[in-house]
């Protein structure tokens, strides 16, 4: 296996930064050394197969995006990125691990849902991948099957308080699943929105002729995210199940998480770039049906109500621990357009897997977060939260050589025209300009992206069996 020296950069971790050279031997990091070090008298640069120059740039652990939906069937269509196109886009953006959601639907065996997801992903991924398990139908069989997940390398599962008739779990089902999860050490991930109430409000809006994309966000009121978040916290408390709330967008939901954590509960939350940057007002201002590009759930929130500002604060104070994308792309033509007469038929989702590292680095540029916190929320914490730390999430001897050389003096135009690599005919991020640039991406010692372009291939990425969450005692 080839050896590589990445020389002259600043290695950044969740806890600090240091000028260092990184020696890669085969698939793993062999050493992090003082700049220009020799090893047992050998000039390293002369001894290795390849020297990569990182002068003036950061060397960070590859991004871990813990929330993606490649090929997710939704609303009569399916998310437009396959594991092949979606992981290629991830690699372009410096994300070297994704955790996708295998889906079990009501009436289906969990094992069959999981096998279907393995079949979609195997041999197609450019970067390493793991799964969470969606339990879309909680019953005696699926509860029993949860006991097999840890052996499959799946240590977290997701329930939905939204989407009645699709993935929805009622309180009794949630309680039973959480009891089982607490027993097994599984982390419960929750889509916390009051789905039955949302569906009533949505139907009333459509009856009133309010059918445009903006009304998606009106129906999915923040009160219904706050209420569901609170309910999830209390159900978790009574069952002693650790809880991780996905795609938190409302300020009031963050306050619920903060309150629960202050009370000593094992409660965690993620947010997504769209809830930090985009707003309901911008969706309202979009011409015609264009606002459909920003239809996702939880929805974009009103900037006038301070949600985005509060979310940045929560990232600083650790009331929210990490940032994933909820990457769930749909094309405008033929997919988003399904809801042109009724926002309820717009497939929910935004594609961002390629942009998370750049978008969050922008928070460093604007002074919202530190450089170390950037690494923590995009790589280190996701790895720890989902049982991958040590292999992923850190640049240290023995870790997989998943590395990004990031240029703080570079510039990235996000989603302009066809410049992104996701399988979408538009971008929610059209026209966004950020300082910083992904210069080089390495996955287990292989260079996937560099100044010459893309060198990755389907099948390089391996399935990762995860340990139990390293956040839980
Ligand atoms: N939210 C989305 O935006 N897309 C898929 C599922 C979800 O909960
Ligand atoms: Zn969700
Ligand atoms: Zn999701
Ligand atoms: Zn090259």
Q: Are residues 374 and 445 in the same domain?
A: no
Q: Are residues 171 and 244 in the same domain?
A: yes
Q: For residue 403, what are the domain limits? A: 3-60+395-411+421-454
**pLDDT value at residue 419:** 83
Do the beta carbons of residue 158 and residue 218 sit within 8 Å? no
Nearest-angstrom CA–CA distance, 219 and 227: 14
Do the beta carbons of residue 279 and residue 302 sit within 8 Å? yes
Within a domain: residue 462?
Answer: no
Q: Are residues 274 and 312 in the same domain?
A: yes
Within a domain: residue 14?
Answer: yes
pLDDT tens digits, one per residue of 452-471? 999 999 999 999 999 999 99
Continuous H helices in 130-279: 140-146, 171-184, 195-207, 214-219, 222-239, 251-262, 273-277
Instruction: Please choose from 161, 348, 353, 428 the residue to mutate so as to test ligand 1's pocket, defined by most ligand atoms within 8 A of CB.
Output: 348
Residue holding tokens 């287990």?
444
**pLDDT value at residue 418:** 64
Within a domain: residue 429?
Answer: yes
Nearest to 158 by CA among 187, 186, 189: 189
Residue 45 has pLDDT above 80, yes or no: yes
Number of domains the chain is built from: 2
Q: Are residues 271 and 169 in the same domain?
A: yes
Residue 162 has pLDDT above 80, yes or no: yes
Within a domain: residue 8?
Answer: yes
Q: Which ligand is nearest to the CA of 326?
A: 3
Residue 347 has pLDDT above 70, yes or no: yes
Residue 59 has pLDDT above 90, yes or no: yes
**pLDDT value at residue 415:** 81
pTM for the predicted model, two decimal places: 0.98
Within a domain: residue 104?
Answer: yes
Q: Are residues 258 and 332 in the same domain?
A: yes
Neighbours of 259 (CB within 10 A): 14
Neighbours of 450 (CB within 10 A): 15
- Integer distance in angstroms from the first to the last C-alpha of the chain? 38
Instruction: Please choose from 195, 249, 271, 297 the residue to mutate so as to test ligand 1's pocket, defined by most ligand atoms within 8 A of CB.
Output: 297
Nearest-angstrom CA–CA distance, 330 and 213: 15
Q: Are residues 252 and 162 in the same domain?
A: yes
Instruction: Please choose from 67, 69, 275, 352 the residue to mutate so as to test ligand 1's pocket, defined by most ligand atoms within 8 A of CB.
Output: 69
Neighbours of 412 (CB within 10 A): 22
Do the beta carbons of residue 136 and residue 146 sit within 8 Å? no
Q: What spacing in Å lies between the alpha carbon of 348 and ligand 1's midpoint?
A: 5
CATH code of residue 446: 2.30.40.10
**pLDDT value at residue 436:** 97
Strand partners, 78: 73
- In 257-296 the beta strands, taken as DSSP E runs, fall at 267-271
**pLDDT value at residue 473:** 67
Main-chain dihedrals φ then ψ at residue 454, nearest 5 degrees = -100, 130
Q: Give the orientation angle of helix 222-239 with respect to helix 251-262, to 10 degrees.
A: 20
Q: Are residues 37 and 71 in the same domain?
A: no
Nearest-angstrom CA–CA distance, 189 and 466: 15
Per-position DSSP letters for 338-378, written without gaps between them: GGSS-GGGSPP-B--TTTHHHHHHHHHHTTSS-HHHHHIII
Q: Who surrounds ion ligand 4 at CB < 5 A?
A: 450, 452
The residue count for the chain: 473
Within a domain: residue 464?
Answer: no
Main-chain dihedrals φ then ψ at residue 460, nearest 5 degrees = -65, -40
Nearest-angstrom CA–CA distance, 324 and 329: 14
Nearest-angstrom CA–CA distance, 5 and 331: 41
Within a domain: residue 465?
Answer: no
Q: Are residues 332 and 440 in the same domain?
A: no
Average pLDDT, the chain: 97
Nearest-angstrom CA–CA distance, 321 and 254: 11
pLDDT tens digits, one per residue of 101-148? 999 999 999 999 999 999 999 999 999 999 999 999 999 999 999 999
Nearest-angstrom CA–CA distance, 303 and 305: 5
Residue 406 has pLDDT above 80, yes or no: yes
Within a domain: residue 200?
Answer: yes
pLDDT tens digits, one per residue of 203-241? 999 999 999 999 999 999 999 999 999 999 999 999 999
Q: Which ligand is nearest to the CA of 190?
A: 2
Q: Give the orientation angle of helix 222-239 with respect to helix 171-184, to 10 degrees.
A: 50
Residue holding tokens 């410049």?
419
Nearest-angstrom CA–CA distance, 227 and 229: 5
Percentage of the residues of the chain whose pLDDT score is greater than 90 = 97
Nearest to 123 by CA among 92, 89, 84, 93: 84
Q: Are residues 258 and 302 in the same domain?
A: yes
Q: Are residues 364 and 436 in the same domain?
A: no
pLDDT tens digits, one per residue of 283-311? 999 999 999 999 999 999 999 999 999 99
Residues contacting ligand 1 via CB (< 6 Å): 69, 74, 191, 296-297, 326, 328, 348-349
Strand partners, 19: 10
Residues ≥6 apart with Cβ < 8 Å to 287: none
Q: What spacing in Å lies between the alpha carbon of 191 and ligand 2's midpoint?
A: 5
What are the angstrom distances between the C-alpha of 68 and each of 87, 101, 168, 251, 398? 10, 7, 19, 23, 27
Q: Are residues 378 and 238 in the same domain?
A: yes
Q: Are residues 148 and 206 in the same domain?
A: yes
What's the ipTM? 0.92
CATH code of residue 341: 3.20.20.140
Q: pLDDT tier at 427 (50, 70, 90 boundaries)?
A: very high
**pLDDT value at residue 116:** 98
């Amino acid at each position: 296996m080839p050896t590589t020296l990445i020389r002259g950069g600043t290695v950044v971790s969740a806890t600090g930064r240091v000028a260092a050279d990184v020696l890669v031997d085969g698939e793993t990091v062999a050493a992090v050394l003082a700049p220009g070090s020799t090893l047992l008298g050998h000039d390293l640069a002369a001894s290795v197969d390849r020297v990569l120059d990182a002068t003036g740039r950061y060397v960070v652990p590859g991004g871990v995006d813990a929330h993606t939906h490649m090929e997710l069937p939704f609303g009569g269509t399916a998310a437009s990125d396959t594991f092949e196109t979606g992981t290629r886009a991830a690699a372009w953006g410096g994300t070297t691990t994704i955790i996708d959601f295998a889906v079990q639907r009501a009436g289906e065996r969990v094992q069959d849902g999981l096998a279907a997801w393995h079949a979609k992903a195997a041999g197609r991924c450019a970067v390493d991948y793991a799964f969470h398990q969606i339990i879309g139908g909680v019953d005696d069989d699926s509860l029993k099957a949860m006991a097999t997940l840890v052996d499959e390398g799946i240590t977290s599962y997701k329930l939905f308080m939204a989407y009645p008739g699709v993935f929805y779990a009622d309180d009794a089902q949630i309680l039973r699943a959480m009891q089982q999860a607490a027993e097994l050490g599984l982390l419960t991930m929750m889509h916390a929105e009051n789905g039955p109430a949302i569906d009533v409000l949505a139907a009333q809006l459509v009856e009133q002729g309010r059918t445009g994309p903006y009304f998606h966000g009106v129906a999915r009121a923040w009160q219904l995210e706050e209420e569901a978040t609170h309910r999830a916290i209390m159900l978790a408390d009574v069952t002693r199940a650790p809880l991780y709330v996905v795609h938190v967008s409302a300020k009031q939901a963050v306050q619920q998480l903060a309150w629960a954590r202050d009370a000593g509960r094992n409660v965690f939350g993620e947010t997504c770039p769209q809830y930090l940057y985009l707003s309901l007002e911008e969706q309202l201002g979009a011409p015609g049906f264009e606002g459909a590009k920003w239809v996702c759930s939880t929805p974009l929130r009103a900037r006038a109500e301070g949600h985005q500002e509060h979310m940045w604060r929560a990232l600083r104070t650790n009331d929210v621990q990490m940032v994933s994308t909820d990457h769930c792309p749909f094309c405008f033509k033929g997919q988003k357009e399904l809801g042109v007469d009724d926002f309820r038929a717009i497939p929910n989702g935004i594609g961002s897997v390629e942009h998370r590292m750049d978008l969050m680095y922008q928070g460093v540029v604007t002074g919202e977060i530190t450089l170390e916190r950037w690494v923590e929320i995009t790589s280190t914490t996701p790895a720890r939260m989902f049982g991958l730390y040590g292999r992923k999430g850190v640049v240290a001897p023995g870790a997989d050589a998943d590395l990004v050389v990031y240029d703080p003096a570079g510039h990235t135009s996000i989603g302009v025209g066809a410049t992104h690599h996701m399988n979408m005919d538009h971008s929610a991020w059209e026209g966004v300009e950020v300082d910083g640039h992904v210069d080089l991406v390495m996955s287990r010692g292989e260079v996937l992206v560099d100044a010459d372009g893309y060198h990755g291939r389907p099948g390089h990425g391996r399935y990762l069996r995860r340990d139990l969450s390293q956040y839980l005692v």
